[in-house]
Amino acid sequence: MRARDDLSMENLEDSCASLRTQIAAIEAQLEGLKRDLANAEAAVKSEADSTGKPHEGQNDAGNRWPLLPEEYKRYGRQMIVSQIGLRGQLKLRAAKVLLVGAGGLGCPAAQYLAGAGIGTLGLIDGDTVEISNLHRQVLHRGKNVGKYKVDSAIEALRELNPHPTYIAHRTHLTPEEAPAIFEKYDLILDCTDNPATRYLISDTAVLMGKSLVSASALRTEGQLIVLNNPPRRPGEKDGGPCYRCVFPKPPPADSVVSCADGGIIGPVVGTMGVLQALEAIKVLTAPETDTAADGSAPHEAPVMQIFSAFSNPQFRSIRIRSRRANCAVCSAEASVTLDTIASGSTDYVFFCGSATASSLLGPDERVSPEEYREKHPLINTRTNGEPEGSHTVIDVRDKAQFGICNLENSINIPISNFLASAPLSTADLKASQLPSWLPSELASPESNEPIYVVCRLGNDSQIAVKKMKELGLDRNGQRYIGDIRGGFRAWREQLDPDWPEY
């Protein structure tokens, strides 16, 4: 009997907990609907202000002010700036902005847009938070490692400002989904880091009639540009240029470097993200312009902002051309349409190429870290400057990465040296003809020691192997030159779990 009573009490407690959870969810949904209603009412009032018509339903018994009392306190310092004012604040409150990417650019951009009072903020990102993100992606916290970035970001944004409506898109942007997602927003921010996605975002934004604020950052430098501003249909010459107008051809696939490979200083990408938020606010609050004599709307010439943290001055502007007459997206001769995007006919990966280096070398030119250790149980050591052992290890990471961690007695020759060298004939393989950065002992005719090349991920090492063979260092196959497959990431997984992961 007692057991049944205990079970009955447990079921009642579970029911109470379930009901509390449902009530909390419905209350949160109700708060969201209230915010959406407030944004819609603000948009109506903003439209009435611009036309001079009275506000529908406004009377002495109604709300006298368009903003909530707390909002006047929250945004007051912003509204007293003449370029914003109450009208600008209402425009921000009614605006719907989509950020593609919730990383180094998206975090500071979202933070300042939420703080400014944007009515609806959408974030799209399919990645999860990693500990390597935290030094620059300032919305994320250590407790959220493993959580979707969009969820982690929105959690922090709600603490900053509960008034906006936040929408999470837990996915990577795809051509099939992009038009339907963009349709719900007024302005797009490109906060991504790869060319294929950049072209997809720009193409979709132009065809959907949306302006786009695009930025990028790497190492100590960044760039920013506002595209398709003012937004115009393809073929209309007075519209702002798109990404294809500025960059008709993508960069070579093997020249594209990510933050993971090239590195990034946190405040650099933070600066570019903050500038994106600023440009977004400028676009959204821009006053109505008068029509020019030719019937077009006058607007400022588009410029690209270049930032370099270690230069003086740090900022410079480059004026860019208007829409290209033969642009594949925004010209009268456009070949890219919403149909070609959604159907997959416009292949962005093919257009931008693939940076995958997995097929550069044959199987006999590659060894795994475990295979390397089996062939050479001990890393060669040096006594009195002379090598002991039967092979040479060349590390082609840059000097900074080599200084973080390296194999004992490995030789550091950055990949940039290999890429800058022209092929040499066998007759040129003598000390006077070798590149200055190449140790003379590597080209010694008396040495048949095999050479193993290693890098961080196993891509640059393959390029270096091919370059060394082009230099003739393998003596027409008489000497083995190969790479350690997977680089130091695989080295850590297979041999040394204490190897620093960065």
Catalytic residue numbers read 259, 455
Token digits for 210? 């949306």
355 contacts 193 by C-beta, under 8 angstroms: no
Sequence-ordered strand ranges (E) for 61-156: 96-100, 120-124
Cα separation, 362 vs 38, in Å, equals 63
124 contacts 189 by C-beta, under 8 angstroms: no
Cα separation, 500 vs 479, in Å, equals 32
Spatial CB neighbours of 360, under 8 Å, sequence gap ≥ 6 = 462, 463, 465, 466
Cα separation, 293 vs 125, in Å, equals 44
A 10 A CB-CB count for 466 gives 17
Closest CA to 153 of 163, 164, 166, 165: 166
Residue type, 189: L
A 10 A CB-CB count for 202 gives 25
Identify the residue whose tokens are 């891509």. Answer: 459
Token digits for 322? 């208007």
Closest CA to 302 of 248, 227, 234: 227
CA dihedral 305, 307, 311, 315 (to 10 degrees): 40
Sequence-ordered strand ranges (E) for 170-282: 187-190, 211-218, 221-227
Cα separation, 236 vs 230, in Å, equals 11
Spatial CB neighbours of 253, under 8 Å, sequence gap ≥ 6 = 352, 353, 354, 355
Sequence-ordered strand ranges (E) for 384-495: 386-387, 392-395, 411-412, 451-454, 481-484
